[in-house]
Chain A
Amino acid sequence: MSTTNIDDIIEDFAEQNRHTVKRFKSSDKAISSNVNIYDELVKAMLNERMAPDLLPYQHKLINEVLTKLSNQQQYLSDSHEYGDTNASSGIVDGDFKLQLMIIETEIERLSYMLRLYLRSRLSKIDKYTIHYISETSKPEEGSQEDTSLVSKQEMEYMHQHFKILTQLYNNSFLKKMPHFLTYLDDTSGGQSMISKPPVNNHVFVKSVSKKPFVISLDEDEDLELTENGIYVVKYKFIKPYVELGDVVLI
């Protein structure tokens, strides 16, 4: 095997790494125009999919994705119209159709990612409904539109979900029970009825911070995370770094 080949490969890796760093450096708070919005969405989806608890809703990112999607869709339907009316005149060539196909494919890829993101959130809202209802009813929550844990639609979904669930429970068996046994959120007697996300559980993380950093674990243990290192740690210890963007869940 020739040396040039190896050099090429190293070059390739270096390039990839540069790429990754650039991609992940800016946190979601400031989505500038040179950040690839698709990559941001993938990151948000993976974080949400792998985190045991609900991460703050990515208001800014999702709004931007939705706006861009609808603009692109508008462009696509305009272009199709243009293509249809000019098909016979010979102005429209195969090139044009191919371009539209690429644009359409990207729209589908983005909406798929968006669906995965939202589905991961809904599954957690379903599982821990009562917990998140009480989390989101705290006074500091909900006041700011851009930072709330759940979106307006999710909030509505969550309350509706809870309503039909309690209705079902009531109609099927709770109404036949003595009143003191009908609670769904009793926390007395050392046992809470409210299911909570298992934040102690382990998750896979990849460090994307250029600078190595140290996180503290329980029992006075520390762990240094270096760039591109892959670790399995308890979620509760890594959560702040997920939100800062120093690590991504994988």
Chain B
Amino acid sequence: MALPESLTYNLSPPEISFLSENEYITILPRYSMKKIELIGEKIPTLRGMRRERVPLWVALILKSQDKCNIVPPSWLELDFLKMKYEEEMKLPHKFSALPWHWLEISKILLAKAPDDLADPSNKLKSIIQDLREIRLVKSRKGLKELNESNIQLDGLSFMEINELRPYILKVMDKLMNLHDSISRNNVEAETNENEYEDGEASEDE
């Protein structure tokens, strides 16, 4: 099988995490390194202690070799995340703005560069967990009113969307199937109107 059933129209969390590694991040190189011409991007010449933006996966390689420190993104900070948490509490029908890859990037940095973060890892982990949970509960409540046509889901991140995706799609598809069992008849009834005009009228309420 070219693709397992569970991955059709769906992504696994590790796959999304992989995609997030191409987000740019600021590093503080400890040594110099000549520029590299990659296929996707160009890594500029690195000089010691001069900030540079590189893809996260490059930063992780450099970090693992002790060649740089990672400058954590400004949102990966206790005060900021607490503020977001309060926002989530205050506005029960809205998701606070967080980066598209916030869960993935914070997890990666907590695992690979905990010494570069401004706040203690365990505190960051716990506020991230709290944020994730309050948003999950909120999204679950919001899912009470799915329909057969369309919905808008602003404010959720890629990973959060992916978690809800199978449920949302399967419910909406089923509602559509139920709904269409009638509409289709209506369409056919219209096209066949002339033929059956003098047959028994059956569809009056």
Contact of A231 among B18, B19, B153 (CB under 8 A): B153
- A126 to B36, Cβ gap below 8 A? no
- B3 to A123, Cβ gap below 8 A? yes
Residues on B with beta carbons closer than 8 Å to the beta carbon of A110: 39-40
**CB of B9 within 8 Å of the partner chain:** yes
**CB of B140 within 8 Å of the partner chain:** no
Size category, B interface: 35 or more
**CB of B150 within 8 Å of the partner chain:** yes
- B34 to A12, Cβ gap below 8 A? no
- B41 to A38, Cβ gap below 8 A? yes
Residues on B with beta carbons closer than 8 Å to the beta carbon of A95: 31, 33-34
Interface 9-residue window, one of A100-108, A131-139, A140-148, A178-186: A100-108
Instruction: Give Cα distance in the complex from A99 to B161, angstroms.
Output: 36
- A250 to B158, Cβ gap below 8 A? yes
Contact of B22 among A42, A72, A98, A217 (CB under 8 A): A42
**CB of B2 within 8 Å of the partner chain:** yes
Residues on A with beta carbons closer than 8 Å to the beta carbon of B22: 38-39, 42
- B150 to A106, Cβ gap below 8 A? no
**CB of B65 within 8 Å of the partner chain:** yes
Instruction: Give Cα distance in the complex from A172 to B154, angstroms.
Output: 52
Chain A residue, CB-CB nearest to B43: A102
Instruction: Give Cα distance in the complex from A192 to B17, angstroms.
Output: 41
Interface 9-residue window, one of B130-138, B164-172, B192-200: B164-172
B residues whose Cβ falls under 8 Å from a Cβ of A: 1-3, 7-9, 11, 15, 18-19, 22, 24, 31, 33-34, 36, 38-41, 43, 57-58, 61-62, 65, 67, 73-75, 77, 79-80, 83, 97, 99-100, 149-154, 156, 158, 161, 165, 168-169, 172-173, 176, 180, 183
